[in-house]
Chains A and B, each alone.
Chain A
Amino acid sequence: MRTGFKVISLAFPTTVLMFLALGSLERGEQPPKKKVVILGIDGMDPQILKGFADQGVLPNFSKLMAKGDFKPLQTTMPPLSPVAWSTFITGQDPGGHAIFDFIHRDPKTIMPQFSMARTIPSDWTVTLGSWVIPLRGGRIESMRRGRAFWQLLEERDVPTMIYRIPSNFPPQSEGHALSGMGTPDILGTSGTFSFYSDHPPPGSEDMSGGQVNKVTVQDFKVSGQLTGPQNSFRTTGGNMTADFQVFLDPEEAVATLRVQDHEFILKEGEWSDWIRVDFEALPHVVGVSAIAKFYLQQVRPAFKLYVTPLQINPEDPAMPISVPGDWSAELQKELGYFYTQELPEETKAFSAGIFNGEEFWEQSQSVYQESRRALDYALRNFKEGLLFFYFSSVDQGSHMLWSYSDDKHPGFRRDGKLSKAIQTLYQEMDEALGRVMSSIDEQTTLIVMSDHGFNPFYWEVNLNSWLLEKGYVQLKDLGRRDGVTLFENVDWSRSQAYALGLNGLYVNLRGRESGGIVSRGAEYDRLLDRLEADLLAMRDPRNGNHPITLVVRTRRDLKGTNLDSAPDLIIGYNRGYRSSWKSPLGEFPREVFVDNRDPWSGDHSVDYRLVPGVLLSNRRISAEKPALYDLTVGVLSEFGVPKLSEMIGEDCLE
């Protein structure tokens, strides 16, 4: 063999081997791609979880508790979902992220406002006859202050997928995000269902959370209209509408429904699939697309048809519900249509008596099944970085079905199936956890957390009525206490304080409230001292209980400085108590304490010490008493990202 050929013949395999070796070295030097999966289960309570785990019905939770760690997770004050999730998102207390309740108020008008987002209409329009043409689009603004922790990760090129975390509408992310709590229906409300009947229930004209429409059955046919959003292209205003017809069989309990170009058959008691409904704003030019499900509750003797709140169509979203903007359409393609409004479980129809417990259960289970399918999709597509996935079913089920499993509840209902409903919801979460655990490797950090726990809601407290009794509020006409809402009967020139929202108490402050009478400084401080003492001394005369166990003075006790919309006091109720249904919106019923017989029978808007959330992880939890804001820092630390100076927590994971 010639030498030159020999050299070449040796050099070639040697070079190949060197490249291979270098390649493997390079791969070996690369740090493994960090993965963190967070399962956010709204309203999961540590005591209830432990109880079911001890009974042996939650094998995956038990396994995670044994292999990893489990501790109660301190929530926020007030322990409300938008507040608590905002704290987890930003690592700040409510004073930092500026979300203090579901509703805030405009101090000039004392009108309630949605706390999480606001719509700013187009300020540049042209009017042509009865048409208004916007020349610049309006926008929707999140009211949450502070940076989301996943934004810090994204800055360091960590891929993120944030599925329906509350208080993230419009979604803020550079990765993938779908908005959750805070996302309205197509009407811009937190979910307004429609109900059509030839025999509407009495008092349905003022039904909260839904529109009841009287229809007539003529020749076995019903014609109705779905009410869409306001037509902002019309000077005359008015809502866009879409017609539908229902053809009833003369004998059988079955009907054909025709909605635009969709036609489908439902038997009594059946739900339709998602139906796309298009509303025209500017004929053939501009429209708004929505989706809805139809439930044929009864054919006869009374005709009853329920339609879900009209959802923003993820295929063609009228509002920004995802990042990237077309991710919701991609999800729709993979998963089919899905609920996009916040908290889609139909609590309002149940509270209003349109649904019974069984119907609520069926509807809320369909919401869960959608989320469960989405979890499978998320896990299939999760390769590295952060995956946050949210479930609402435990929270909404615990609110609405508590009274089925608590015989001390004033509204206790006996029902064999529903008495086990909360356990079933926890078991469903256990199954979902099992799915997550089976899809991750040992290096992946798994966190299961909730924003708060749960308490029974036995008794309502009409806090505004108590303020009236104690002389903090004066009415213009004491004889008109019933049925007057939104503080219309309040004499502001003689009122020092008012309660608004689930836990908020505001001082009628001069220079802030338009009719303010309390001066800043000593008078304000003296009033708060007196209020705090009186509130903590409050007693329920029927049983001698103290209904209030904690009063937080926001400007003294909170760390953040975004306090413009903060109440002056945040009220922490005792176990079993909660603000009434009427007081948060400015009513003054005659009784201060009322038994709660509403299906909404479990709650958590109490003293935060009574309702911690849960924290489970396959890592050891280093903090003795971890709080939501500690977990924010803990997640950042998993990726080696330092916390921001305004974050108040410490790393809680080893």
Chain B
Amino acid sequence: MAMDFLNWIVTGFFRLLFWPLGILPPLGALTVISVVTGAIMVWIFGRVSSQERIRLVKDRIRGNLFGVRLYQHEIGVVLRLQRQIFRDTFTYMTLSVVPMLVLMIPVFLIIVQLNLYFGNRPLRPGEQAMVRVEVTDPSLVNQVPVSLKGAPSFTVETPPVHMISEKEIAWRIRAVQAGQHSLAVQIGNHQVAKNLEIGEKWGRVSTLRTTSWLDSLLYPAEERLDPRTGIRSIEIVYRPLPLSIMGLDVDWLVFFFAVSVVASFALKGVFGVQL
């Protein structure tokens, strides 16, 4: 329950955040988010790290590096200074560990949310996609009637493929109407819904709805499934959202890290933070 509540809060917050950003192209929105993230990260780092000790260690490393240049012909001195630099570097890294661990939590939550927006794109009207339903018990695969409902937003193009060895049932659907739709899986007496996004624009795309709390951490857009339905997960296989800079394809995660790190370094002076 706590997990679902956390997901609901964070997802709701990001929906609010993305509401004005939706008018931008995806790369523009990702740039804004990355810069803001970089700023927040550097601010948090400043609050949770021992800034005074970091400053001292960095000054000492700088001083010793200067010493290495000054006494480059004194091999004994150079070796002693290098030993000191090595020790201080280790101390510097140790001082960064705790704030990094603290930062990991918001970064993880942000990445999971960004993945909803930049990992995949909605189905285009007319486009095909695969819908996979994983069940908890193999007997459910071929002994209980399972069907897919949701017309006219999409059409079901194939009969269900019952894959007993995989505990899976799959269909191929074709998107028809743009919009945020619900796809219903009827299994026995239970009916379970799953979001289906169709449209030409980029936006939030939830690929998986699951019973697993661990998976729901990674796919937080939809409420967890009730395990009593016999369904472990429902997945719609969307296509990745293409992002490119001057014709070069870029991975959104790499772009996010690169921009947020650059932003952090650029803004450290503004916040008076030692990194």
Name B130's contact: one of A220, A250, A263, A267 (CB within 8 Å).
Answer: A263
A263: nearest chain-B partner, CB-CB? B130
> Are B237 and A263 in contact, CB atoms less than 8 angstroms apart?
yes
Residue B92 is within 8 A (CB to CB) of chain A in the complex? no
Residue A415 is within 8 A (CB to CB) of chain B in the complex? no
A265: nearest chain-B partner, CB-CB? B172
> Are A265 and B165 in contact, CB atoms less than 8 angstroms apart?
no
Residue B12 is within 8 A (CB to CB) of chain A in the complex? no
Residue A249 is within 8 A (CB to CB) of chain B in the complex? yes
In the assembled complex, the Cα of A255 lies from the Cα of B159 at a distance in Å of 9
Residue A252 is within 8 A (CB to CB) of chain B in the complex? yes
> Are A265 and B164 in contact, CB atoms less than 8 angstroms apart?
no
Distance between B164 CB and nearest chain A CB, rounded to angstroms: 7
Q: List, in ascending order, chain B residues with CB within 8 A of A249's CB.
A: 159-162
In the assembled complex, the Cα of A372 lies from the Cα of B158 at a distance in Å of 29
> Are A256 and B237 in contact, CB atoms less than 8 angstroms apart?
no
> Are A264 and B161 in contact, CB atoms less than 8 angstroms apart?
no
> Are A264 and B130 in contact, CB atoms less than 8 angstroms apart?
yes
Q: Which of B139-166 contact A (CB under 8 A)?
A: 142, 157-166
Residue B265 is within 8 A (CB to CB) of chain A in the complex? no
Q: Which of B158-190 contact A (CB under 8 A)?
A: 158-166, 170-172
Residue A512 is within 8 A (CB to CB) of chain B in the complex? no
> Are A219 and B164 in contact, CB atoms less than 8 angstroms apart?
yes
Q: List, in ascending order, chain B residues with CB within 8 A of A647's CB.
A: none
Q: List, in ascending order, chain B residues with CB within 8 A of A220's CB.
A: 163-165
> Are A254 and B165 in contact, CB atoms less than 8 angstroms apart?
no
Distance between A104 CB and nearest chain B CB, rounded to angstroms: 42
In the assembled complex, the Cα of A251 lies from the Cα of B161 at a distance in Å of 9
In the assembled complex, the Cα of A250 lies from the Cα of B159 at a distance in Å of 11
> Are B170 and A256 in contact, CB atoms less than 8 angstroms apart?
yes
> Are B170 and A250 in contact, CB atoms less than 8 angstroms apart?
no
Distance between A618 CB and nearest chain B CB, rounded to angstroms: 36
Q: List, in ascending order, chain A residues with CB within 8 A of B160's CB.
A: 249, 252
Distance between B138 CB and nearest chain A CB, rounded to angstroms: 11
Residue A247 is within 8 A (CB to CB) of chain B in the complex? yes
Q: List, in ascending order, chain B residues with CB within 8 A of A293's CB.
A: none
In the assembled complex, the Cα of A209 lies from the Cα of B207 at a distance in Å of 42
> Are B165 and A250 in contact, CB atoms less than 8 angstroms apart?
no
> Are B172 and A255 in contact, CB atoms less than 8 angstroms apart?
no
> Are A254 and B161 in contact, CB atoms less than 8 angstroms apart?
yes
Q: List, in ascending order, chain A residues with CB within 8 A of B158's CB.
A: 254, 265-267
Distance between B178 CB and nearest chain A CB, rounded to angstroms: 22
Consensus secondary structure, chain A interface: strand
In the assembled complex, the Cα of A223 lies from the Cα of B161 at a distance in Å of 17
Q: List, in ascending order, chain B residues with CB within 8 A of A251's CB.
A: 162
Distance between A89 CB and nearest chain B CB, rounded to angstroms: 31
In the assembled complex, the Cα of A221 lies from the Cα of B164 at a distance in Å of 9
Contact with B along A193-227 (1 / 0, CB 8 A): 00000000000000000000000000111000000
In the assembled complex, the Cα of A247 lies from the Cα of B165 at a distance in Å of 9
B159: nearest chain-A partner, CB-CB? A252
> Are B171 and A265 in contact, CB atoms less than 8 angstroms apart?
yes
> Are B130 and A247 in contact, CB atoms less than 8 angstroms apart?
no
Q: Which of A236-290 contact B (CB under 8 A)?
A: 247-252, 254-256, 263-267
In the assembled complex, the Cα of A255 lies from the Cα of B166 at a distance in Å of 13
In the assembled complex, the Cα of A357 lies from the Cα of B254 at a distance in Å of 50
> Are B237 and A265 in contact, CB atoms less than 8 angstroms apart?
no
Q: List, in ascending order, chain B residues with CB within 8 A of A248's CB.
A: 161
Name A219's contact: one of B157, B165, B170, B171 (CB within 8 Å).
Answer: B165
> Are B170 and A265 in contact, CB atoms less than 8 angstroms apart?
yes
> Are B172 and A250 in contact, CB atoms less than 8 angstroms apart?
no
> Are A250 and B237 in contact, CB atoms less than 8 angstroms apart?
no
In the assembled complex, the Cα of A369 lies from the Cα of B122 at a distance in Å of 26
Q: Which of B160, B161, B162 has the most CB of A within 10 A?
A: B161
> Are A264 and B172 in contact, CB atoms less than 8 angstroms apart?
yes
> Are B161 and A255 in contact, CB atoms less than 8 angstroms apart?
yes
Q: List, in ascending order, chain A residues with CB within 8 A of B166's CB.
A: 247
> Are B164 and A250 in contact, CB atoms less than 8 angstroms apart?
yes
Name B159's contact: one of A221, A247, A254 (CB within 8 Å).
Answer: A254
B166: nearest chain-A partner, CB-CB? A247
In the assembled complex, the Cα of A481 lies from the Cα of B58 at a distance in Å of 88
Q: List, in ascending order, chain A residues with CB within 8 A of B142's CB.
A: 250
Distance between A315 CB and nearest chain B CB, rounded to angstroms: 10
In the assembled complex, the Cα of A247 lies from the Cα of B141 at a distance in Å of 13
Q: List, in ascending order, chain A residues with CB within 8 A of B162's CB.
A: 249-251
- Using a CB–CB distance below 8 Å, which chain A residues touch chain B? 219-221, 247-252, 254-256, 263-267
Name 6 extra pairs, CB < 8 A, besides A250-B142, A252-B160, A265-B161.
A219-B165, A250-B162, A252-B159, A252-B161, A256-B161, A266-B158
Complex A-B: 27 CB contacts under 8 Å: A219-B164, A220-B163, A221-B163, A221-B165, A247-B165, A249-B159, A249-B160, A249-B161, A249-B162, A250-B164, A252-B161, A254-B161, A255-B161, A256-B130, A256-B161, A256-B170, A263-B130, A263-B170, A263-B237, A264-B130, A264-B172, A265-B158, A265-B161, A265-B170, A265-B171, A265-B172, A267-B157
List the 5 closest pairs (A to B, CB-CB), nearest first: A252-B159, A265-B172, A247-B163, A249-B161, A256-B161
